[in-house]
Structure 1
Amino acid sequence: MTDTLKIALAQLNPTMGDIAGNLALLRKARAEAAARGADLVIASEMVITGYPTEDLVLKPMFLEAAESALQALALDTADGGPGMIVGGPWRQDPTARPPLYGKVYNTAYVLDGGKVTTHRTKHDLPNYGVFDEKRVFGAGPLPGPVNFRDVRLGVMVCEDMWKPDVSECLEESGAEILIVINGSPYELDKTEERIQLAVQRVNETSLPVIYVNQVGGQDELVFDGASFILNEDNGLACQLPAFEEALEVTEWYRGPAGWTCNPAHREAPAGGMEPIYGALMLGLRDYVNKNRFPGVIIGLSGGIDSALTAAVAVDALGPQRVHTVMMPSPYTSQESLDDAAEAAQLMGIGIDSVSIEPAMQAFNTMLQPILNGAAAETNAGDTTEENIQARSRGLTLMAISNKLGYMVLSTGNKSEVSVGYATLYGDMVGGFNVLKDLYKMMVFDLARWRNQVLPKGALGPAGRAIPERIITKPPSAELKPDQKDEDSLPPYAVLDDILKCLIEGEESVDAIVARGHDRELVNRVWRMLELAEYKRRQACPGVKITRRAFGKDRRYPITNAFRGPA
């Protein structure tokens, strides 16, 4: 009987659809683990293909490529080195042709001795928030343990750990160690929630838990890794870092009470602003690199949103891959010009200047016959003229992007996008939005934090990155004389609280009023939120931070007449 075991936790960053690249990642991890004496290497959910696959997993040739890679990886284990547990898709009937809904399974494979020895399919399919696995996957049966070199392992796939059914079934059928392979994306306070769920499973089964999570960005999702091991006494034996790849070989021994992991690497989870900023950096870096953009271009306005976006971009990609443009209009203050220039200097990035005044005048001249003189030569007017300014800037950025190949970063925050305080085809243009899920007050908090801390893994300069005046001055779109955001919006602290209640909390108007907010203001914010749905539907993706990000997390109809009880 085996009484000792060396188990490697492979916290990897796969790329969606790069099956050959993901196979190479797994082989590299296995080789390193073998050199360190590992018996078993555990990687994350759907690591062969990347995760989440969405409808790619319904394409037969995609499945065939994944199956070929899995067989090649299995053959590697004929060398007498470590076995592997890896995630990938499984077709019960390889001859099945589309439509494949419910005929493909999210699966954990056990590889050893040159072959796939067995597999276990995901039982509990998440169908909420960003997940709609019931759309593409079939649900597997409650699993029994797998035998790996005389040790009975209870293998689960991600959501299977979130409820007691699967772990209890594994414990009752003789599992000795619980193993969970995961594709669990980052959200605020998610790390602690995972630990608490694992504690519940340990308490129910008296078995240790190995939790291996994916790391990396995939569209709007960021997977933070932070893999861990809990012993049967709930002691934390291992905690891997967040937002970076890691491989840790852990040592296990069988005692009178069962299997125990010796103390291994334990990295205390970061708190405060650090994990949020880390998620923004990783999400942007992977979106840019995995989509093979040489760099990014940002309209640097002298305001807080574009400054923080630039800081994250410099930290994620390095100054040499960040290009900025100041696009002044007649309403741009000298203060904004100076602040943008100082921000670029602090971050070590270049800044060009392109005046949009000629474009504004051209549009006014072009439109004057149709608008019956409403577009006056002085550029004074209503939101039509304001939007022309924003769209002139958007057109300018996209032209530079087309020539240089750099991706435009949109800079709107969640507060503004929520209430439609953004111009479609103007400041909303871009391929990615770093701040998309950040409320305005958090934007200020992150800017202050970044000025005090050089984030882990950052490629930007230490010290202040954002001029203090950018943080302290009243926010303004500068689309007309002496404009301030609070001319059109309530104070951001008030607005953010109301929006959190409406979006994350789905609270009623009465409940929000009971928090101390004015009823008329709450109703006004709610109306703005609903009316701006058509804009958000056309917005670019951005890093998900909260439990209710715009996009897959919150799917509201555009045509929507509901306004609450009469």
Structure 2
Amino acid sequence: MARELVLALAQMNCLVGDISGNVDKIIELAATARREHGADLIVCPELAITGYPPEDLLLRPEFIERCEKGLERIRRAVGGIGVVVGFPHLSKGELYNTAAVLRDGETLALYHKHLLPNYSVFDEKRYFRAGNRPAVFELAGVQVGLTVCEDIWGPAPMAQAVRAGAQLVVNINASPFHFDKQSHRETVIRERIAVTPAPVVYVNMVGGQDELVFDGGSLVMDVQGRITQRAPAFEEGLYLARFRHGRSGLEPISGEVSQIDPIASVYQALVTGVRDYIGKNRFAGAIVGLSGGIDSALTLAVAADALGPQRVMAVMMPSPYTSGMSHEDAQAQAQALGVHYSTISITDTVNSIEAALAQEFRGAARDTTEENIQARVRGVLLMALSNKTGKLVLTTGNKTEMAVGYATLYGDMAGGFAVIKDVPKLLVYKLSRYRNSLSPVIPERVLTRPPTAELRDNQTDQDSLPPYDVLDAILELYVEQDRSAEDIARSTGASLKTIREVIGMVTRNEYKRRQAAPGVRISQRAFGRDRRYPITSGFKEPRAD
């Protein structure tokens, strides 16, 4: 009986543009896989040499030259083990998203990605030309076929590899996270195997890159569509996959199958996004304006979990409208998490600004203008602390607020990273409950009191907005699914009047979202890279009868 075939699945956290650092990591992982695990092959993610997505760095000739030199350095440095690595390959004046197979100074195979995604957050047709040929190489007597990421989402590339003799298909990925993405991936892989029976090794990247978060979840699936191994989500590392020759051909030997909790996965995505945005951009830590409300409470918990409490500052900035409950709950949470906590009153500053504007505002009633002054004073204070400490301000607005413009430009929107920008309000509560199930850090009153911005007496969010269960349902259908007002009414039971008012708020506030900080993407249709609407537009929803 032939010996076992051992593959090392490398869930790498790559830094976009750090070609030298990424290459160093690949060489080190390959040496570890050979020396400590006796692996025949190490499989690295899509575009591991550049990180993903490299975007317009791919348009710079010197960038492509450095990638080729990085590949050559791997080829020279790694011996005694094969390496599958993704890189941009320039051939005859055309650039390809490529998987290379290297061993002992030789290139055993080059595969050019066939299916180039050009939707949602992907725009690969801007940079790459599509390949059309299979690539199959021999590994310890086994014929191994290559595919890259999107290739597994269509039937042709895997079928072509198997027709070319592949007994095992390796698929390398830089597949970003969104809610329930892993189950979707696994369904697609199972569909491929049902039509083209061959075991599949799926290797995915981990880590945060600007708005995107890569969740890993690398896996092995056998010819019956069973998952025989699944690597932990959001954890960088080497995970071994073993195969043997059996009656039905090459068979994976069952390993650890990590479990998936959808809410826990979203929370981990937020933590990963904050950790890597701050770490990769070399900020000293994070600053959060803590109000005593649910959004800032969740943001602070994520920051502390991502960075450690010693690197996080929480700042309470009360006004005359700030309740005693908010004071108490903010301080209690800061103490529970162990972060640095301070209080800076905005009352005198707001009064001085209003005094300076008194002549100009004479005869005008108080309105949201004065409320926005409070929010903008807080933004000034937080940004001053950021400048002085080198810590990044994390904004606290959620997706529901971003959708309808329930936020102050240059006020509570001021900051460098928007942690829950893609998290609807109702999911904010679920995530907060989940975090408290690990250890109770968010006071119960924060979870049960009516949401309020506390910018005027007795204010609640529902003074200006529909109830959040109604609002979130409308926004999901309109923002994420592009459904019409009439269709939304049929699906939700909400009145057309309410739906059109909400759509109007979404439309009017595109200019705010365009100026918002980047934030972690956890849905299939986030504002920014996913959903791109004009600020100036004459398109309107039909008026109500």
TM-score range, shorter chain: over 0.9
- SS of equivalent to 1:557: coil
> What is the CA distance between 1:414 and its match in structure 2?
0.5
Residue 16 of structure 2 aligns with which residue? 16
Separation in structure 2 between the aligned mates of residue 120 and residue 147 of structure 1, nearest angstrom: 14
CA contact (8 A) 2:500 2:541 kept: no
CA contact (8 A) 1:240 1:246 kept: no
> What is the CA distance between 1:327 and its match in structure 2?
0.7
Range moving further from structure 2, 197-206 or 488-497: 197-206
1:109 matched to 2:100? The reply is yes
1:420 is aligned, of 395, 398, 405, to: 405
1:175 is aligned, of 166, 186, 205, to: 166
CA contact (8 A) 2:292 2:326 kept: yes
Residue 352 of structure 2 aligns with which residue? 362
> What is the CA distance between 1:265 and its match in structure 2?
2.5
2:529 is aligned, of 552, 556, 564, to: 552
CA contact (8 A) 2:84 2:101 kept: yes
- SS of equivalent to 2:360: coil
- SS of equivalent to 2:257: coil
Residue 253 of structure 1 aligns with which residue? 244
Separation in structure 2 between the aligned mates of residue 429 and residue 151 of structure 1, nearest angstrom: 56
CA contact (8 A) 1:191 1:226 kept: yes
1:29 matched to 2:29? The reply is yes
1:523 matched to 2:524? The reply is no
CA deviation vs aligned residue, 1:444-464 (integer Å, no higher than 9, x gap): 1111121112xxxxxxxxx21
1:299 is aligned, of 286, 289, 294, to: 289
Residue 503 of structure 1 aligns with which residue? 479
1:163 matched to 2:154? The reply is yes
Residue 69 of structure 2 aligns with which residue? 68
> What is the CA distance between 1:150 and its match in structure 2?
4.2
For residue 515 of structure 2, what is the amino acid of its counterpart? Q
Range moving further from structure 2, 333-342 or 313-322: 333-342
Separation in structure 1 between the aligned mates of residue 54 and residue 192 of structure 2, nearest angstrom: 28
Residue 90 of structure 2 aligns with which residue? 91
Separation in structure 1 between the aligned mates of residue 247 and residue 330 of structure 2, nearest angstrom: 66
For residue 218 of structure 1, what is the amino acid of its counterpart? Q
- SS of equivalent to 2:38: coil
Range moving further from structure 2, 360-369 or 421-430: 360-369
Unpaired stretches in structure 1, ≥5 consecutive residues: 97-102, 375-379, 454-462
- SS of equivalent to 1:415: helix
CA deviation vs aligned residue, 1:267-325 (integer Å, no higher than 9, x gap): 22x21421111111111101110111110001001111001100011111111010011
2:235 is aligned, of 244, 260, 268, to: 244
> What is the CA distance between 1:264 and its match in structure 2?
2.0
2:510 is aligned, of 520, 533, 536, to: 533
Query: TM-score, normalised to structure 2's length?
Result: 0.97
> What is the CA distance between 1:394 and its match in structure 2?
0.3
Residue 196 of structure 1 aligns with which residue? 187
Separation in structure 1 between the aligned mates of residue 325 and residue 242 of structure 2, nearest angstrom: 60
Residue 478 of structure 1 aligns with which residue? 454
1:234 matched to 2:225? The reply is yes
> What is the CA distance between 1:140 and its match in structure 2?
1.3
> What is the CA distance between 1:76 and its match in structure 2?
1.9
- SS of equivalent to 1:368: helix
1:132 is aligned, of 111, 114, 123, to: 123
For residue 356 of structure 1, what is the amino acid of its counterpart? I
> What is the CA distance between 1:247 and its match in structure 2?
1.0
- SS of equivalent to 2:403: helix
> What is the CA distance between 1:2 and its match in structure 2?
6.9
- SS of equivalent to 1:273: helix
Separation in structure 2 between the aligned mates of residue 334 and residue 392 of structure 1, nearest angstrom: 20
> What is the CA distance between 1:149 and its match in structure 2?
4.9
> What is the CA distance between 1:334 and its match in structure 2?
1.4
CA deviation vs aligned residue, 1:493-524 (integer Å, no higher than 9, x gap): 11101111111121111111113101100000
Residue 377 of structure 1 aligns with which residue? none
Range moving further from structure 2, 144-153 or 22-31: 144-153
Separation in structure 2 between the aligned mates of residue 304 and residue 13 of structure 1, nearest angstrom: 31
Separation in structure 2 between the aligned mates of residue 351 and residue 520 of structure 1, nearest angstrom: 44
Separation in structure 1 between the aligned mates of residue 192 and residue 137 of structure 2, nearest angstrom: 18
Separation in structure 1 between the aligned mates of residue 256 and residue 185 of structure 2, nearest angstrom: 18
Residue 82 of structure 1 aligns with which residue? 81
1:491 matched to 2:490? The reply is no
For residue 508 of structure 2, what is the amino acid of its counterpart? L
CA deviation vs aligned residue, 1:175-228 (integer Å, no higher than 9, x gap): 111110000011111111111111111111111100000011011111000000
1:443 matched to 2:428? The reply is yes
For residue 464 of structure 2, what is the amino acid of its counterpart? S
CA contact (8 A) 1:248 1:265 kept: no
> What is the CA distance between 1:259 and its match in structure 2?
1.3
Range moving further from structure 2, 522-531 or 235-244: 235-244
Query: TM-score, normalised to structure 1's length?
Result: 0.93
2:255 is aligned, of 264, 273, 276, to: 264
CA deviation vs aligned residue, 1:384-428 (integer Å, no higher than 9, x gap): 111111111001100110000100000000011100000000000
1:564 matched to 2:513? The reply is no
Separation in structure 1 between the aligned mates of residue 232 and residue 361 of structure 2, nearest angstrom: 59
- SS of equivalent to 1:369: helix
CA contact (8 A) 1:71 1:115 kept: no
Separation in structure 2 between the aligned mates of residue 443 and residue 531 of structure 1, nearest angstrom: 24
Residue 542 of structure 1 aligns with which residue? 519
Residue 315 of structure 1 aligns with which residue? 305
CA contact (8 A) 1:71 1:116 kept: no
CA contact (8 A) 1:144 1:169 kept: no
Separation in structure 1 between the aligned mates of residue 107 and residue 161 of structure 2, nearest angstrom: 21
> What is the CA distance between 1:252 and its match in structure 2?
1.7
What RMSD over aligned residues (CA atoms) do the two structures have, in Å? 1.5
Separation in structure 2 between the aligned mates of residue 558 and residue 391 of structure 1, nearest angstrom: 23
> What is the CA distance between 1:479 and its match in structure 2?
0.8
CA deviation vs aligned residue, 1:11-34 (integer Å, no higher than 9, x gap): 111111111211121122112210
Unpaired stretches in structure 2, ≥5 consecutive residues: none
For residue 59 of structure 1, what is the amino acid of its counterpart? R
> What is the CA distance between 1:373 and its match in structure 2?
5.3
Separation in structure 1 between the aligned mates of residue 485 and residue 274 of structure 2, nearest angstrom: 36
- SS of equivalent to 1:253: strand
For residue 401 of structure 1, what is the amino acid of its counterpart? S
1:464 is aligned, of 430, 440, 444, to: 440
CA contact (8 A) 2:179 2:262 kept: no
Separation in structure 2 between the aligned mates of residue 149 and residue 59 of structure 1, nearest angstrom: 39
CA contact (8 A) 2:145 2:162 kept: yes
Separation in structure 1 between the aligned mates of residue 542 and residue 114 of structure 2, nearest angstrom: 40
Separation in structure 2 between the aligned mates of residue 411 and residue 146 of structure 1, nearest angstrom: 50
- SS of equivalent to 2:183: helix
For residue 82 of structure 1, what is the amino acid of its counterpart? I
For residue 383 of structure 1, what is the amino acid of its counterpart? T
1:388 is aligned, of 373, 389, 404, to: 373
For residue 63 of structure 2, what is the amino acid of its counterpart? F
Of all paired residues, the percent bearing the same amino acid is 48
For residue 24 of structure 2, what is the amino acid of its counterpart? A
Separation in structure 1 between the aligned mates of residue 323 and residue 252 of structure 2, nearest angstrom: 62
CA contact (8 A) 2:287 2:391 kept: yes
- SS of equivalent to 2:301: helix
For residue 6 of structure 1, what is the amino acid of its counterpart? V
> What is the CA distance between 1:442 and its match in structure 2?
0.7
Separation in structure 2 between the aligned mates of residue 252 and residue 163 of structure 1, nearest angstrom: 25
